[in-house]
Chain A
Amino acid sequence: MDNKQSTLELGQKPVGRLLWQYALPAIVAMTASSLYNIIDRAFIGQVVGAEAIAGLGITFPFMNLSGAFGAAVGVGASTCISVKLGQRDYKTAENLLGNTVTLNLVVGFAFMVVCLVFLDPILRFFGASDVTLPYAREFMQVILLGNMITHMYFGMNAVLRAAGKPRHAMYAVLFTVGMNIVLVIAFVWWLRWGIRGAALATVTSQTMALCWQTWIFSDRRELLHLKRGIYRLKADLVRNIIAIGISPFLMNVTSCIIVIFMNNQFVRYGGDMAVGAYSIANSMVMVFFMFVMGVCQGMQPIVGYNYGAEKYDRMLRCLWLAIGVATAILMVGWALAMLFPHEIARIFTTDPQLLDLSARGIRLDMLVFPIIATQAVITNFFQCIGKVKISIFLSLSRQLIMLLPLAYLLPLWWQLDGVWYSMPVSDFGSFAMTWPLLLWYLRKFKGYVQSSYHY
């Protein structure tokens, strides 16, 4: 049994090799999707202008929110499906597949209608000004019209992974990113369709990927395929999907709230250009942070299994290795940000005012960047070993508990700079909270390891 073999390997193969093997696909996929954001923003910033990139920054939490609904269904369904496939309960698995399709359509449609009707007030609430609103509106109209497709695409991808085709899922992501680049060049650069062109590129590339996914799932030889009679929603299945989907949903909503709040603070203290600068700095942060998330995902099965198998030395080795690798990656990002902030900002804009603001922003935002690595890895570590409460507390500590109050308070003294300061300060604060927790936990743990050696 191949599945079982790969599980047993988690307790035997060298930790470094395992981490490489598990982290690589995650890193590729996550970095690809953050690159995709960068390229979108770069083209819009260069071709359409500085105000457009600010408008795009305003829509970011919107995309997050839509993603939250998509993730709720996608993650919930894929988890349920993989359980059922493990039990060779193909009938229920197919039913789940059909229900996923229906749920995505229903949720996607409802989200689209509600948001299109209230688009302007929502964007205002997200921090849009008279200048940025038209850009944000143009972009979101297209994105929202394609919302059902986006949801379906993400949902299908999650199901592909559950159905034992993680490679296909990765190809779909890479294809969408690649296609999007080609289309953005065509729509925004050649045809000069403006910000709407970028949105259209996104939706079109997702549509193409969805067609391919549908084609895979239409194959009758597949154990899990689309057929008649599986689409009617069943209360039981929907409840299970949502019960699991609720936590990724809340994670996404949290990050959405944070970006909304930050955008509003930037508008208040620095105007539209500051939002644009934040959006630029954030893309830079995201590219490197996605690497770290990839490492975290790669370490999950390894740490989890070895904890369960009571091979604590392997578990700890994996933890230290992950911290080391993640920190090294962020050091590279940090060095780039400190040495070449202007060059980085130049990727996104030619506007001299926005350039200066972004360069300063990148430096301040990423001032203590490398220490986030430990924070992220350790948070993830607690999650792997089932200490869910600690893990939730830690992941909220950086974003909600520290960042929001700081971003409110610091500008009262330092205005715009204060908003920027809030990020490194909260990074440092949560870092300072994470280490003692880990060390305290490991000390308790060391005794446990030794006592198990005694007999």
Chain B
Amino acid sequence: MYSRHIIINIGRQLGSGGHDIGRMLALDFGAKYYDRELLNLAAKESGLSAHVFEQHDERKGFLRSLLHLQAGMSSANYARQGFSQDSLFQFQSEAIRKAASEGSCVFVGRCADYVLRDHQNIVNIFVTASMEFRISQVMARQPFATLQEARHFIEQNESKRADYYHYYTGKKWGHASSYDLCIDSSVLGLKDTEKFIAEFIRKRFKL
């Protein structure tokens, strides 16, 4: 079974319960679960502080793109960039590949589907949910005063996530053609959605 370990990538809308589903799947398939842990791994690889990775985690806004001033102040930049958002992504990707080569994994986000695109036993899943469901999920985790505030939080962070994904993969985030299965978790609820996905994965790998 050494070379037969499986990789499950989960893309998720904010508040769709992708994390919980990922965790349950990891239990079901005896896989390791990677989410924020990746940041620590990447930090260890690079010698950089985990704070830096957290600051740049799945974010790519307009101001961030101005960071490229660093590369672009002059058209003759000869010094190799030791530190930029791009190199952070590079370290994170290395961490993802390393983890994937060691055993079965569940990755949540971080463009893992793109980073591991050449891997053989891979299944890409995208979890969506209705706005109401997501708002209630987000409000359970973080105390927002109003529904409006929670909705605003979701929309803002999601657009950053989408930009990040698009910048590094060249694909549109959440676009059905990039995934093997797209599913709305608010229809069946988290538990049953997870069972459904697990069934799909079993069929996919003929387990």
**Residues of A near any B CB (own CB < 8 A):** 4, 6-8, 10-11, 22-23, 25-26, 29-30, 33, 67, 70-71, 74-76, 78-79, 82-83, 86-87, 92, 154, 157-158, 161, 166, 169-170, 173, 236-237, 240, 243-245, 247-248, 251, 293, 296-298, 300-302, 304-305, 307-310, 380, 383-384, 386, 388-389, 391-392
Q: How far is the CB of A86 from chain B (nearest CB, A)?
A: 5
Cβ–Cβ contact A251 & B80, under 8 A: no
Q: Are A301 and B81 also in contact (CB < 8 A) when A92-B170, A247-B68 are?
A: yes
| CB of A155 to closest CB in B, whole Å | 9
Partner of B48 from the list A74, A82, A244, A308 (CB cut-off 8 Å) is A308
Tell me the complex Cα distance, A23–B79, Å: 7
A383 in contact with B70 given A71-B75, A236-B170, A243-B65 (CB within 8 Å) = yes
Report the separation of the CA atoms of residues A243 and B115 in the bound assembly, to the nearest whole angstrom. 23
Find out whether the CB atom of A86 lies under 8 angstroms from the CB atom of B75: no
User: Does B51 count as interface, using CB distance less than 8 angstroms?
Assistant: yes
Given contacts A300-B82, A304-B70, 12 further A-B contacts (CB under 8 A): A25-B78, A25-B79, A33-B76, A70-B75, A75-B72, A87-B115, A157-B76, A173-B76, A244-B65, A297-B74, A304-B81, A386-B67
B83 and A305 contact, CB distance less than 8 A:
yes
Question: Who on chain B is nearest to A304 by CB?
Answer: B83
CB neighbours of B75 from chain A (8 A): 67, 70-71, 74-75, 154, 158, 248
CB interface residues, B 109-131, toward A, < 8 Å: 114-115
* Contact segment of B20-28, B87-95, B141-149, B197-205: B87-95
Query: Which residue on B lies nearest to A27, using beta carbons?
Result: B78
CB–CB B82/A310 < 8 A: no
Complex partner residue of A307 from B46, B79, B81, B83, CB under 8 angstroms? B83
**What are some 12 contacts across the A-B interface (CB < 8 A)?**
A7-B87, A11-B47, A25-B78, A79-B71, A79-B86, A157-B76, A166-B80, A243-B65, A244-B65, A297-B74, A304-B70, A308-B83
Are the C-beta atoms of A300 and B70 separated by less than 8 Å?
yes
Q: Quick check: A247 and B72 within 8 Å, CB to CB?
A: yes
Select one of A157, A244, A301 contacting B83, CB under 8 A. Answer: A301
B52 touches A308 (CB 8 A): yes
Residue of A nearest to B87 (CB): A7
> A-B pairs with the 10 shortest C-beta distances?
A301-B82, A304-B83, A248-B72, A71-B75, A308-B48, A305-B82, A25-B78, A26-B78, A75-B72, A308-B52
Number of B interface residues at 8 Å Cβ cutoff, please give it. 39
CB-CB < 8 A to B114: which residues of A? 87
Closest B residue to A79 by beta carbon equals B71
B67 engages A87 (CB within 8 Å): no
Chain B residues, Cβ within 8 Å of A86: 86, 89-90, 93
Chain A residues within an 8 Å CB radius of B159 = none
Query: Does B63 lie at the interface of the complex (its beta carbon under 8 Å from any beta carbon of A)?
Result: yes
Question: Cβ of B140 < 8 Å from any Cβ of A?
Answer: no
**A251 engages B72 (CB within 8 Å):** yes
On whether the beta carbons of B65 and A248 are closer than 8 Å, the reply is no
Instruction: Find B78's partner among A29, A92, A310, A383 (CB 8 Å cutoff).
Output: A29
Select from chain A the residue with minimum beta-carbon distance to B55.
A386
Instruction: List the interface of chain B (C-beta within 8 A of A).
Output: 45-49, 51-52, 63, 65-84, 86-87, 89-90, 93-94, 114-115, 167-168, 170
Are B78 and A8 in contact, with the CB atoms below 8 A? no
Whether the pair A26, B77 counts as a contact (CB closer than 8 A) is: yes
Complexed CA–CA distance, A245 and B72 (Å): 7
Name the B residues within 8 Å of A236 (CB-CB).
170
Known: A79-B68, A251-B73, A388-B67. A310 touches B49 (CB 8 A): yes
Q: Which of B46, B69, B89 has the most CB of A within 10 A?
A: B69
- In the complex where A173-B76, A304-B83 touch, is A388 in contact with B47 (Cβ < 8 A)? no
Contact call A29/B170, Cβ cutoff below 8 A: no
Complex interface: chain A residues within 8 A of B90 (CB): 83, 86-87
Contact in complex: B79, A300 (CB < 8 Å): yes
B78 near A161 (CB under 8 angstroms)? yes
Assess whether B72 is in contact with A29, with CB atoms less than 8 Å apart.
Answer: no
Which A residues touch B115, using CB under 8 A? 87
CA distance A240 to B65 in the complex (A): 10
Residues of A within 8 Å of B78, CB to CB, are 25-26, 29, 161, 166, 169-170, 297
A8 touches B47 (CB 8 A): yes
- How far is the CB of A364 from the nearest CB of chain B, in Å? 27
Contact across chains for B79 and A391 when beta carbons are under 8 A apart:
no
Which residues of chain B are within 8 angstroms of A158 by Cβ–Cβ distance?
75
**B79 contacts A22, C-beta separation under 8 Å:** yes
The docked-state distance in angstroms from the alpha carbon of A248 to that of B76 is: 11
How far apart are A308's CB and chain B's nearest CB, in angstroms? 4
Residues of A within 8 A of B65 (CB): 243-244
* Nearest CB in chain A to that of B85: its residue: A386
List of B residues within 8 angstroms of A11 by Cβ: 47
Tell me, rounded to whole Å, the shortest Cβ–Cβ distance linking A415 to chain B.
Answer: 35
Contact of B167 among A76, A240, A247 (CB under 8 A): A240
B83 to chain A, nearest CB (A): 3
- CB-CB under 8 A from A67, the residues of chain B are 75
Question: Could you tell me if A302 and B82 are in contact, using CB atoms closer than 8 angstroms?
Answer: yes
Residues of B within 8 A of A83 (CB): 86, 89-90, 168
B84 nearest CB neighbor, chain A only: A304
Task: Please determine whether A391 and B81 come into contact, CB atoms closer than 8 angstroms.
Answer: no
